[in-house]
């Protein structure tokens, strides 16, 4: 799928997606997604909440899976493994998802999350593709 087709599909199936994420670039094997800073993404201690980072990692992997597997909005996360490395300071978070393997049944990708120059988390995400 092209970036335009993906955005159209998201508008159709997940009408609120733009309130949370913006696709900033699309490469041959990767995608970059920005989660703009919002105060309600913070948790006690002055850092972005873990669940917000997990949601972003899952979302970036989802967009990448759709781009590579085609319009299968019912693709669902089978496994997500995330390692938190540095506590991000308040600010935008940039997620870069990279496809490791697209099989007929599973799509496995990694997602690196950055806050400025800091690598704040690394995730590996597996999506189960619907049977065709």
Query: Which residues contact residue 62 at a Cβ distance below 8 angstroms, ignoring those fewer than 6 apart?
Result: 75, 77, 127
d(CA 103, CA 47): 37
d(CA 49, CA 35): 12
From candidates 31, 54, 60, 111, binder to a copy of itself by CB under 8 A: 54
Closest CA relative to residue 49, chosen from 6, 84, 13 = 84
Task: Based on the shown chain and the rule CB under 8 A, indicate whether residue 81 belongs to the binding site for a copy of itself.
Answer: yes
From candidates 7, 68, 78, 114, binder to a copy of itself by CB under 8 A: 78
Binding mask 103-122 for a copy of itself (x = CB under 8 A): --xx-x-x--------x--x
Task: Based on the shown chain and the rule CB under 8 A, indicate whether residue 30 belongs to the binding site for a copy of itself.
Answer: no
Task: Based on the shown chain and the rule CB under 8 A, indicate whether residue 83 belongs to the binding site for a copy of itself.
Answer: yes
For residue 79 the two structure tokens come to 């496994």
User: Which residues contribute to the site for a copy of itself (CB under 8 A)?
Assistant: 13-14, 43-45, 47, 50-51, 54-55, 58-59, 73-74, 76-87, 100-101, 105-106, 108, 110, 119, 122, 124, 126, 128
């Amino acid at each position: 799928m092209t970036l335009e087709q993906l955005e159209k599909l998201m508008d159709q199936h997940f009408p609120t997606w733009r309130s949370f994420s913006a696709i900033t670039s699309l490469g041959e094997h990767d995608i970059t997604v920005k989660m703009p800073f919002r105060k309600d993404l913070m948790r006690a201690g002055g850092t972005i909440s873990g669940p917000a980072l997990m949601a972003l990692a899952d979302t970036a992997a989802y967009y990448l899976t759709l781009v590579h597997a085609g319009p299968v909005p019912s693709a669902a996360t089978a496994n997500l493994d995330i390692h938190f490395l540095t506590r991000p300071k308040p600010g935008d978070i940039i997620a870069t998802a990279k496809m490791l393997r697209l099989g007929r049944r599973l799509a496995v990708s990694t997602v690196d999350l950055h806050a400025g120059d800091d690598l704040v988390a690394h995730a590996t995400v597996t999506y189960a593709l619907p049977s065709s």
